[in-house]
Structure 1
Amino acid sequence: MELTFLGTSAGKPTKERNVSAMALQFEQDNKWYLFDCGEATQHQILRSRLSLGRLDTIFITHMHGDHYYGLPGLLSSKKLDTAFRPLRIYGPKGIKKFLDCTLDHSLENLGYVLTIIEFEADETYRFDRFDLKVLALEHSVESFAFSIKEDAITNKINEKKLREIGLEPSRLYGELQKGHSVTFQGKLLEPREYMLEPIPGRSVIIAGDNSRPDVLGASLEGLDLLVHEATYTQEAYDHLAVKVMHTTAKVLGETVERYHVKNLIATHINPRYNTKSDTGVELIHDEIRSLYTGRLFIANDLDVYRLGRDGTLKRVHTYKR
């Protein structure tokens, strides 16, 4: 499972970070999924290894512009690329009205099937390799997280055991994988006797803007990976003249430690944390690290992370400017 961060800034783009967007891919799959689509997401896709023609589904966390203003341009470019694969968009109430208005007034004829689904909290959707549940968050507008539970692998052949009885790889392996009994050298082989134990699917939550990570509650317990905003350090947030409904690094660190989250990627970084100022992104990192003992990364634009079946998270690609 790979995650490509296409935008990691909070509120507005900077020279170092674009606004929110992230891609998710599964191993040996010919499609990918996009979570949020801030302005200029299509530019970021061009700088990545992703192909717009293989985009299957878009999920929008909430109706703040830095999370969905990139949709009209992306949808139009998909047509210009002659990428006519059908596309689905899942979003909160209002996303259909926005897109209908934009496409109607621009006289855009997409040339492919676009399906728009407006969801509610606690709804569950089934996809090829995972189930997705919509979870409510706390923000200044309705905001949501997407809880992804990957299917377990249940059809792995115990090749070693089969070789021990003299059965080399053949079409009989395929029959056993399908759950069919087979006969070998006069002996009936039952599938359950020659299958490995199921490999559990990975669990991931990709969250939109949220002032209280603990609102996710039991969904966080033992989670393989949480992708969540860490917009401010606690000190910076405490000194804001006008409080906003965002998470601080301190609150995020306390929450993921309490619920034993295995891996955390923090994103949605306020523009004040940059390489040109005295307040670098390491302040976010260090505040979380002081409270959290799991694997921690602060996402940068065009970073690629791989979450293994064993729950190990690695950064496998960093974009060089």
Structure 2
Amino acid sequence: MVQLTFLGTSAGKPTRERNVSALALEFEQDNKWYLFDCGEATQHQMIRTRLTIGKLDTIFITHLHGDHYYGLPGLLASKKLDTAFNPLSIYGPKGIKKFLECVTDVSSEYLGYDLKIIEYEAQDSFVFDRFSLKILPLVHSVESFAFYIKENDISNKLNEKKLRAIGLEPSSLYGELQRGKSITFKGKKLEPKDFTLDTIPGRSLIIAGDNSRPDILGRYLEDLDLLVHECTYTQETYDSLPVKVLHSTAQELATVVQEKGVKNLIASHINPRYNKNGTMGVEMIYNEIKHNYKGRLFIANDFDEYRLDRDSVVEKL
């Protein structure tokens, strides 16, 4: 399973319904989790979930607008107070290192754990335990980026049913086969290729920062399992703005993902004008996307949890 928990889904500022941007990502049979963006009060949102700061391994920041990273100082301090002294890595665009060093210096904050800060550039690639990640540039008022995440393929899963059929129960010999080594059982030589299942392809997803041009993601959208992308306005609202801002509309986003064959779309970063108590509800965004996109669609709310299964189907939990 690949699981996502939305900790903040508002654009620009917190509202009664939504906090600002933050998204947790987890992989099955993993003892850690990953955070994408860390808007103000992200640690408050975490308290209302099962996520713990002690198991947070890495934070990825899409761009340096406050609603995407102002929550970092408080979270880093709370990690120390919780005596969660395991190392933490933060990946962000140029400037994130200066920001964090300034905060810890001015506040005389001694974290007590190893904090690794990596400033990335467009097209950089990184390899983690369960996935690889590539940095993709977007179009916004400041440098903004998307993270293309490709889960590792599973290529050494044994056919236990076949092994049990010849009398070989789980043992250290299974490990030898998984490591690609031949073994001898009951006087017969067994080759790994004869007892290994077909490769299971890893799932693919993109978690994008603020972006006015969904089409800039190009070929990375083709046959993508899941795209998490901002959808700040409907087209009508955007067209009526006296001052244009570099954000995506529902219509623009839908047109691109339909053309590229994206299998699942979760829209987030919703402008505060779309709310439960006003005249403009979030269903306006949903309907505009759905009119142009035939894949599986969700509009994220705070604390929503989604699961991407092996069949490339996203379900809300």
State if a TM-score over 0.5 links the two structures.
yes
Distance in 2 of aligned mates of 1:76 and 1:196: 46
The answer as to 2:213 corresponding to 1:212 is yes
Matched residue type, 2:293:
Y
Paired residue for 2:200?
199
Matched residue type, 2:171:
S
How far did residue 145 of structure 1 move? 0.2
Distance in 1 of aligned mates of 2:71 and 2:171: 50
Paired residue for 2:236?
235
Matched residue type, 1:60:
I
Secondary structure of the residue that 2:105 maps to in structure 1? helix
Alignment deviations for residues 134-165 of structure 1 (CA, whole Å, 9 cap, x no partner): 00000000000000011001111112222333
How far did residue 166 of structure 1 move? 3.1
Secondary structure of the residue that 1:290 maps to in structure 2? helix
Paired residue for 1:39?
40
Matched residue type, 2:176:
E
Distance in 1 of aligned mates of 2:170 and 2:83: 42
Q: How does 1:1-321 map to 2 (within 5 A)?
A: 1-316=2-317
Alignment deviations for residues 242-295 of structure 1 (CA, whole Å, 9 cap, x no partner): 000000000000010000000100000000000001111001001000111111
Alignment deviations for residues 39-94 of structure 1 (CA, whole Å, 9 cap, x no partner): 00000000111000110000000010000000000000000000001111000111
Matched residue type, 2:313:
T
Secondary structure of the residue that 1:43 maps to in structure 2? helix
TM-score by length of 2: 0.98
Secondary structure of the residue that 1:180 maps to in structure 2? coil
Q: Which runs of 5+ in 2 are unaligned?
A: none
Matched residue type, 1:227:
V
How far did residue 202 of structure 1 move? 0.5
Distance in 1 of aligned mates of 2:310 and 2:160: 20
Paired residue for 1:319?
none
Distance in 2 of aligned mates of 1:49 and 1:286: 32
Matched residue type, 2:286:
H
Matched residue type, 2:44:
H
Distance in 2 of aligned mates of 1:232 and 1:254: 14
- The answer to which of 264-273 and 171-180 deviates more is 171-180
Secondary structure of the residue that 1:287 maps to in structure 2? helix
Matched residue type, 2:108:
L
How far did residue 29 of structure 1 move? 0.6
Secondary structure of the residue that 1:237 maps to in structure 2? helix
TM-score by length of 1: 0.97
Alignment deviations for residues 103-131 of structure 1 (CA, whole Å, 9 cap, x no partner): 11011000001111111000001111111
Secondary structure of the residue that 1:188 maps to in structure 2? strand
Distance in 2 of aligned mates of 1:109 and 1:197: 50
Distance in 1 of aligned mates of 2:276 and 2:196: 52
Secondary structure of the residue that 2:116 maps to in structure 1? strand
Alignment deviations for residues 150-191 of structure 1 (CA, whole Å, 9 cap, x no partner): 100111111222233333333322221121111122110000
Distance in 2 of aligned mates of 1:274 and 1:87: 35
Secondary structure of the residue that 1:90 maps to in structure 2? strand
Distance in 1 of aligned mates of 2:74 and 2:170: 50
Matched residue type, 1:29:
D
Distance in 2 of aligned mates of 1:127 and 1:189: 32
Distance in 1 of aligned mates of 2:108 and 2:167: 66
Distance in 2 of aligned mates of 1:183 and 1:127: 35
Secondary structure of the residue that 1:25 maps to in structure 2? strand
Distance in 1 of aligned mates of 2:16 and 2:64: 24
Moved beyond 4 Å, runs of 4+: none
